[in-house]
Amino acid sequence: MKDRQNNETPILQISGLKKYFPVRRGFFQRISGWIRAVDGVDLSVPPGKTLGLVGESGCGKSTVARTVLRLLDPEAGSIRFDGEEISRLTEAELKPVRRKMQIVFQDPYGSLNPRMTVGQSIAEGLRAFGIRSTVRRQSRTAELLELVGLSADSSERFPHEFSGGQRQRVGIARALSVEPDLVICDEPISALDVSIQAQIINLLKDLQQRLGLSYLFISHDLNVVGYLCDQVAVMYAGKIMEEAPAMALFEDPRHPYTRKLLSAIPEPDPSRKGRTAEAFEAETEAEPRPEAAPEGCPFLSTCEDRDARCEHLEDAMYPVAEGHLVRCPKASGNVGSEGFPDCI
């Protein structure tokens, strides 16, 4: 991990990324405020590695994915793909870049056209990127289906003829058809049956090894993220609260939110039953409101460790160890002379 970071440019590097959505009210639909869905996010995916982006619904993780793919236009910030700044490119300029980054969606049924055979769906991407010969498209489609563990003759069948796991394989084949370097996986297994999830996880891992893919893996399932990812970023209310190598994050979580999230993982171990009892006797849940809290720590209202300084928290990440950053000066552990450590 370390040598790669030093020697190679990250496949994806985003910094200061912001995406706001307007809140419209009244008869004239005047803009009355902004939802800060993504509010200054820095992330980096090294080549051949997997960055996990975790958080609860509404934290902005899917908006990050969509903005990186330029399906949404960012308000501010930079998105560098393989060293090239893409946040201001026009649609035409984007086309060659799009080929290099693909997405696998959560719901494999909703993201495949029910009127097209699987073969047609996969070939669509090939045609769009300039493979004109039908024969070549067909042979490439067969190759791709085999790559994801489906028989080549499934190209004649329609999505409804496949099970959920098989459809997700088709979704992956489709993403891989244009030979991307980066695949953004947006909750790729959460719609699948338990006995099928492991098949898809294994497939994603195999493909990464064989093709040298990089993944931005978006999920709310911390067990999967802990298994699959090299580096993990925890997102809350549009901001990254903590980022660390996967093992460090699970073994030494620093941010109060990360700790809360980790203690809530339902682990298949009955000896943990009731272990989190005290932690969650809390009467009501406070949820992040992306509209509010322009200043201070976004986790302020729920945090048990808060004090007056948290209301005027600098917008900064504090280092804990190499590759481990946390958006909480107290939690970083290296408190400086004035109570706050040096931020980076």
**Which positions touch another protein (CB under 8 A)?**
56-57, 163-166, 193-199, 201-202, 205, 220, 222-224, 226-228, 246-247, 250, 260-261, 263-274, 276-277, 280-285, 287
Residue count of the chain: 344
- State the minimum distance, in angstroms, from the CB of residue 254 to another protein: 17
Residue 316 CB, shortest distance to another protein, in Å, is 25
Cα separation, 265 vs 259, whole angstroms: 10
CB 260 within 8 A of CB 301: no
Shortest distance in whole angstroms from residue 202 CB to another protein: 6
The CA dihedral of 138, 140, 146, 149, to the nearest 10 degrees, is: -100
Helices (H), the chain: 2-7, 61-68, 91-100, 118-128, 134-147, 164-176, 194-211, 222-228, 246-251, 256-263, 329-332
Q: Write down the least CB distance from residue 293 to another protein, Å.
A: 16
Residue placing its CB nearer to another protein in the complex, 269 or 304: 269
Q: What stretch of H or E contains 25?
A: strand 12-25
Dihedral, 325, 303, 15, 189 alpha carbons, nearest 10: 90
Nearer to another protein (CB atom), residue 5 or residue 276: 276
Q: Choose between 55 and 180: whose C-beta lies nearer to another protein.
A: 55
Select from 128, 129, 130, 66 the least CA-distant residue to 103.
66
Decide whether 77 or 323 has the Cβ nearer to another protein: 323
Smaller CB separation from another protein, 137 or 239:
239
Least separation in angstroms between CB 245 and another protein: 11
